[in-house]
Amino acid sequence: MTGARAQQPGGPGPLEVELFMDYHCPYSWRAVAWLDDLPADAVRVRHRLFALEQVNRDPSATGWQLWTQPLDYVHHQGRQDRRPLAAFLATDVIDRTEPADVARRFRRAVYAVRFETRGDITDPAVLEGAAEAAGAARGRIREALADEAALLPARQRIADDWTAARRDYAVFGVPTLRIGDEQPFYLRLARALEPAAGAAFLEALLAFRAAAPDVLELKLPEPVFTG
């Protein structure tokens, strides 16, 4: 981890982090929130859109690709409210057209709709509401999702992010992080971190990976509950 350690918070520059995310995963939400709450001079995060549906439906992406689908495509298990495409497209539109603070608030708003209010984040009207609440221009998402030509960069980003996840390493789930040029790792937090604890957690995580580079997996068994 020498490359990543050289740019820890307090070092010569922000730590470069790639974060593979999907709005339908609560563990992804916790990782996104943790990194979003870190100071801007501590980390520079590139949010990669990684669809769990693609992994579950066609992990080789040879017969079916999320990024080529229409907005009204049918989920492979018939669970229409679990489709990631609309939220991914909206995320790219916001990232390209709005300030970073708006993009950060939009990500958080979409996750909150998904897991707190249990809204349908495949609904363009729901995404438009999240965007407006985040401070985006009124109609930004509604108009973009109705204009297929405007969505071409967003579709390309989804394809590129999938390639980035599967080209050098077989990323399988979210959240997966890549720090600097080191090997990516899957991170599953038991609970959301308090913002004040985020920097210390990052330092501890970097220290552990540097001290134990041969650890491939450290997983706690679920507790047994007896009635």
pLDDT per position as a tens digit, 61-102? 999 999 999 999 999 999 999 999 999 999 999 999 999 999
Split into its structural domains, the chain has a count of 1
Does residue 218 lie within any of the structural domains? no
* Mean pLDDT, residues 179-198 taken together: 95
* Residues of the domain holding 127: 2-211
Give the chain's radius of gyration (CA, Å).
18
Among residues of the chain, what percentage have pLDDT more than 90?
89
Does residue 103 lie within any of the structural domains? yes
* Mean pLDDT, residues 118-123 taken together: 98
Torsions phi, psi for 187 (to 5 deg) = -130, 125
**The pLDDT of residue 196 is above 90:** yes
**Residue 132, token pair as written in the block:** 């407006």
Does residue 139 lie within any of the structural domains? yes
Does residue 225 lie within any of the structural domains? no
Does residue 96 lie within any of the structural domains? yes
Which CATH number does the domain housing residue 59 bear? 3.40.30.10
Does residue 227 lie within any of the structural domains? no
Name all contacts of 121-126 with Cβ < 8 Å and 24+ positions apart.
121/23, 121/81, 121/86, 121/87, 122/80, 122/81, 122/82, 122/83, 122/85, 122/86, 122/87, 123/86, 124/71, 124/86, 124/90
Closest to 166 in 3D by CA, of 48, 71, 34, 77: 48
* Mean pLDDT, residues 5-31 taken together: 83
Does residue 226 lie within any of the structural domains? no
Please check whether residue 38 is in contact with residue 198, taking contact to mean a CB–CB distance below 8 angstroms. yes
- As a whole number of angstroms, the distance between CA 225 and CA 115 comes to 25
